[in-house]
Amino acid sequence: MMPILFFPFLLLSAIFAQQGQSLVKPGSFLTPTTNSSWPSPSGLYAFGFYKQGNGYAVGIFLAGLPQKTVVWTADRDKPPVPADSKLNFTTDGRLVLQSAQGAETGLASFPEGASSVSMLDTGNFVLLNSANQTVWQSFGFPTDTFLPTQNLSHGQALYSSISETNKSTGIFLVLMQEDGWLAMYPVGTPYTLDYGYGGLGISGQKNDVVLQLEADGHLYLINGAGTIIVNMTDGYLAKDVVYRLTIDPDGILRLYSHDMNQNGDWTIKWFNPNNDVCMPKGLCGINGYCVAIDLQVGCNCLPQFEFVNKEEKSSGCQRNFTIAESCKSDIHAMEPVPNTVWENNNYSIIISTTQDNCGEACLQDCNCEAALFKDGVCTKQRLPLRFGRRVHTDSTVALIKVGKSTPTIDGYLPKESKKEHYRLDILIVGVSLLAFALVVLAISGIAVYRIRVWSYKVISNHGNTVLGEDVAPKSFTYAQLEKVTGGFKEELGRGAFGTVYKGAIWNGVGQRIVAVKRLDKLLAEREREFQTEMKVIGRTHHKNLVRLLGYCHDGPNRLLVYEYMSNGSLADVLFTPQKQLSWNERMEIARKIAKGILYLHEECESQIIHCDVKPQNILMDAHRCPKISDFGLAKLLKADQTKTFTDIRGTKGYVAPEWHRKLPVTVKVDVYSFGIVLLEIICCRKSVDHDRPEEEAILEEWVYQCFESGELGKLVNNEEVDKKQLERMAKVGLWCILDEPSLRPSMKKVLLMLEGTVDIPTPPSPTSFLSAI
Ligand SMILES: *[C@@H]1O[C@H](CO)[C@@H](O)[C@H](O)[C@H]1NC(C)=O
Ligand SMILES: *[C@@H]1O[C@H](CO)[C@@H](O)[C@H](O)[C@H]1NC(C)=O
Ligand SMILES: *[C@@H]1O[C@H](CO)[C@@H](O)[C@H](O)[C@H]1NC(C)=O
Ligand SMILES: *[C@@H]1O[C@H](CO)[C@@H](O)[C@H](O)[C@H]1NC(C)=O
Ligand SMILES: *[C@@H]1O[C@H](CO)[C@@H](O)[C@H](O)[C@H]1NC(C)=O
Ligand SMILES: *[C@@H]1O[C@H](CO)[C@@H](O)[C@H](O)[C@H]1NC(C)=O
Ligand SMILES: *[C@@H]1O[C@H](CO)[C@@H](O)[C@H](O)[C@H]1NC(C)=O
Ligand SMILES: *[C@@H]1O[C@H](CO)[C@@H](O)[C@H](O)[C@H]1NC(C)=O
């Protein structure tokens, strides 16, 4: 075991022993096969030849690791050179590639007349003059990788590679912008919000913002005043670990680490964009759209299109038939591709229309090859459609003009039999494109320049309401949230603490739907605690807790910005008969809620007692995964729930009895509320339901009766469920709702009981200990 573990170190020391010097003098040379590289003093990095395709390229790689990771390539877009080439550092100080025949090609951008060259341990390859001053450095000309101590300042970009094995320029870039934003775009698009797909930054910065990476993996944006404006990571272990930031061929910017003491692969420490692998625009080429399947990129073609190259999905899709020249509408049809977003290159817009009329308008229009329809707006498009991806939450429908399914003479024939037509089509399209281009050129002129300047402004304007995924809760002004919610237009609901509105925020990656809660009753003495508390809540990270994204503490206004949960609350799901959840789904939900509460009680930085656990406060995400909301607020707000739920018959609703008795409030109040919620989940009914027969109206009483009489089946309306499991769930619920707080189990115990890991004793009657208090 040991020798394998320490293999990289052995390698390092071996290299170190052989090559002591780091300055390379004129007259030295490298060949791809023998003496192929100049290592850095420690041997971690090396400059020289590495294998690429069926030849060799010149670059910098991590020689100290078993798998050579290339971090820089000279002339990355030039073809590889054969094995008999030579890299010659000539006596007159030029770095040139020489072929076996003696032909010389200068390596681009290397200045002439260097006195020495040196591969540094930072991964920077430098050319020095006779005074040992750096006259050129590879760090100034990054390819796809950024290393500790390197700087990326405004105007500089990293470009992705074609693939892991082909280091030629790929299709994505990450740019340090003039406005201080680090932003990601597909290569060849304008640097505007419409095309950006990822990035980070904050508004109001100048062009002095620099991206930096420390040796410990601390990745951040820092401005000219020396203020760190965004921390992407806080840094990790520095000893024997190497870090690199790479924009990968799939367009995602990833921070990798490699532990020199381990033989493993690179580990991903951070990445952006981090919410959808389909975010990088153009992954599937033209006329194709990206669909995320289990965090993998999947590509689909438009209907009646097929991949240009099945092996290389990013090459895009083409029609597998020839569109008819005549545009009689009866030979074409419109086929919808729902929930997909595309670049909008409309040439004509119809507003206030329906999807059917939109399709019809395109069918009638010979120029129209597709239409995008959303919210009553129809935009007619010509092919190709670019940057398509499926967004389940977006209602855009792409309508594609296709041949009718029953092929007709002109309409829908395989390509081969209509070659003539095909060429004619190309000609027509070509001529019209040329004409169009000329017109555009003629009329636009200065406009192009304007758009460019303006585009930066757009980004910084949006920056006002930015929300980096990785930045802890952000402080907003009231005006910003007013904008985010469109003037508090769409109300999502009202709760004990305030009203919730729907809003949309630019999070540096795209639009993000959020829920903005306007608090009404802040306790005056808690005023100063507000921001501290927001930070505490903001630091909670659990998959069963709704995330706080931001807050507003502006004059008298207190608002909270949460992630948006598209499936309403558990109350909606549980008490709506049409949404009936299966027993197994319900049990899963109960366990997840318990995990969320357990986290609040025992696992987060400072203990949080929720004080208001109820189905209305448990929200369901798009995958019907429950997330607890409103935690951490009880401290700040009037706890008036003690009154709200007291029922005429003395039932306590979700509120533990100690609330009424002025006993100290402990985590056990949440256990009580959870118990009630659990019983509701088991029975799919509300805890108080006066529409039911008298003996069933109060849930906890009814459950206890059924439990005592051994008729638990009644609780689930004789639904087919695992009897043992049902009994276990009912027992857990009954233990949780005991009047005496100290007798209720902790959430940890509750979870163990729910999971069946521990035995559950028979619970006493919920009120049996009341007299003892
Ligand atoms: C490799 O370089 C070393 C010195 O740097 C030299 O002694 C050795 O002969 C070279 N080997 C070959 C095969 O050129
Ligand atoms: C890398 O990809 C480019 C573009 O697809 C191609 O032209 C080049 O030949 C490839 N290089 C190698 C070494 O495969
Ligand atoms: C390097 O280039 C110089 C000038 O082009 C040439 O004289 C010399 O022989 C070359 N060195 C080798 C090892 O080929
Ligand atoms: C440059 O550095 C080398 C090695 O560190 C040293 O031997 C040499 O004297 C230096 N030259 C000058 C001009 O400082
Ligand atoms: C990066 O920037 C810092 C401070 O601005 C500077 O000291 C350092 O030399 C720069 N590094 C490189 C490789 O340019
Ligand atoms: C980033 O982290 C550093 C410490 O590593 C801290 O000093 C700084 O305030 C942080 N900046 C932001 C914007 O969070
Ligand atoms: C074109 O592709 C569609 C699937 O997208 C297929 O149903 C149809 O048969 C294909 N037509 C031809 C002519 O290959
Ligand atoms: C139509 O396309 C232009 C750019 O080509 C875009 O600015 C505009 O927003 C689009 N209109 C609609 C309604 O999407």
Residues 601 and 524 in one domain: no
- pLDDT at position 496 is 66
Is the pLDDT higher at 435 or at 56? 56
Place 567 in a pLDDT band, splitting at 50, 70 and 90. Answer: confident
Residues 33 and 120 in one domain: yes
Decide if 612 is catalytic: yes
Mean pLDDT computed over 383-399: 92
Q: What predicted TM-score, i.e. pTM, was given to this entire model?
A: 0.59
Place 271 in a pLDDT band, splitting at 50, 70 and 90. Answer: very high
Q: Mean pLDDT, the chain, as a whole number?
A: 81
125-135 pLDDT, tens digit per residue, is 999 998 888 99
- pLDDT at position 577 is 78
Answer whether residue 576 shows pLDDT above 70. Answer: yes
In a domain, 413, yes or no: no
Residues 486 and 512 in one domain: yes
Return the ligand number nearest the Cα of 76: 2
> Which one of 144, 276, 612, 670 is the catalytic residue?
612
Which among 123, 112, 127, 221 is positioned nearest to 174, based on CA atoms? 221
Residue whose CA lies nearest to ligand 7 atom number 5: 304
Mean pLDDT computed over 382-402: 92
Mean pLDDT computed over 6-12: 39
Q: Is 224 left (phi over 0), alpha (psi -120 to 50) or beta?
A: alpha
Residues 648 and 732 in one domain: yes
Whole-number percent of the chain with pLDDT over 90: 40
Mean pLDDT computed over 346-354: 88
Last residue of a domain, one of 141, 162, 187: 141
Place 455 in a pLDDT band, splitting at 50, 70 and 90. Answer: very low
Distance CA 168, CA 144 (A): 10
Distance CA 527, CA 636 (A): 8
In a domain, 444, yes or no: no
What is the Cα 220 distance to its own chain's centre? 18
Q: 133 lies in which domain range?
A: 1-141
Answer whether residue 765 shows pLDDT above 60. Answer: yes
- pLDDT at position 691 is 86
Identify the three-state secondary structure at position 678: helix
- pLDDT at position 740 is 85
Mean pLDDT computed over 186-215: 91
Is the pLDDT higher at 522 or at 408? 522
482-513 pLDDT, tens digit per residue, is 888 888 888 888 776 778 898 888 655 556 78
Distance CA 678, CA 682 (A): 6
Mean pLDDT computed over 289-311: 89
- pLDDT at position 551 is 86
Return the ligand number nearest the Cα of 94: 3
Provide the CATH number for the domain around residue 371: 3.50.4
Pocket test for ligand 1, best of 18, 30, 34, 35 (most atoms within 8 A of CB): 35
In a domain, 438, yes or no: no
Give the position, in ligand 5's atom list, of the atom nearest the Cα of 124.
Answer: 13
Identify the three-state secondary structure at position 519: strand
Return the ligand number nearest the Cα of 89: 3
Identify the three-state secondary structure at position 714: helix
Last residue of a domain, one of 403, 435, 450: 403
Place 305 in a pLDDT band, splitting at 50, 70 and 90. Answer: very high
Q: DSSP for 366-385, please give it.
A: TT-SEEEEETTEEEEE-SPP
In a domain, 292, yes or no: no
Give the position, in ligand 8's atom list, of the atom nearest the Cα of 351.
Answer: 13
In a domain, 119, yes or no: yes
Answer whether residue 623 shows pLDDT above 50. Answer: yes
Residues 38 and 120 in one domain: yes
Burial of 492 (0-12, 13-18, 19+ CB in 10 A): middle
Provide the CATH number for the domain around residue 510: 3.30.200.20
Residues 20 and 134 in one domain: yes
Structure tokens at 768: 């049996």
Last residue of a domain, one of 346, 370, 403: 403
**E-strand stretches of 308-385:** 317-319, 332-337, 340-341, 348-350, 370-374, 377-381
Residues 582 and 547 in one domain: no
How many domains, in total, are found in the chain? 5
Residues 503 and 538 in one domain: yes
Out of 112-126, 142-156, 570-584, 743-757, pick the least confident. Answer: 570-584
| 160 CB neighbour count, 10 Å cutoff | 26
In a domain, 441, yes or no: no
- pLDDT at position 462 is 37
Please work out whether the CB of residue 168 comes within 6 Å of at least one atom of ligand 2: yes
Rounded to the nearest 10 degrees, the angle between the axes of helix 723-736 and helix 699-708 is 130
Residues 594 and 715 in one domain: yes
Answer whether residue 279 shows pLDDT above 90. Answer: yes
Residues 589 and 705 in one domain: yes
Answer whether residue 648 shows pLDDT above 70. Answer: no
Place 149 in a pLDDT band, splitting at 50, 70 and 90. Answer: very high
Provide the CATH number for the domain around residue 161: 2.90.10.10
411's CB contacts (< 8 A; 6+ apart) are 321, 324, 331, 332, 403, 404
Mean pLDDT computed over 9-20: 38
186-200 pLDDT, tens digit per residue, is 999 999 888 999 999
Residues 586 and 547 in one domain: no
In a domain, 268, yes or no: yes
Q: Is 621 left (phi over 0), alpha (psi -120 to 50) or beta?
A: beta
Pocket test for ligand 2, best of 77, 162, 315 (most atoms within 8 A of CB): 162
Answer whether residue 22 shows pLDDT above 90. Answer: no
Provide the CATH number for the domain around residue 675: 1.10.510.10
Place 637 in a pLDDT band, splitting at 50, 70 and 90. Answer: low
- pLDDT at position 291 is 93
Is the pLDDT higher at 663 or at 492? 492
In a domain, 620, yes or no: yes
- pLDDT at position 407 is 44
Residues 156 and 79 in one domain: no
Answer whether residue 756 shows pLDDT above 90. Answer: no
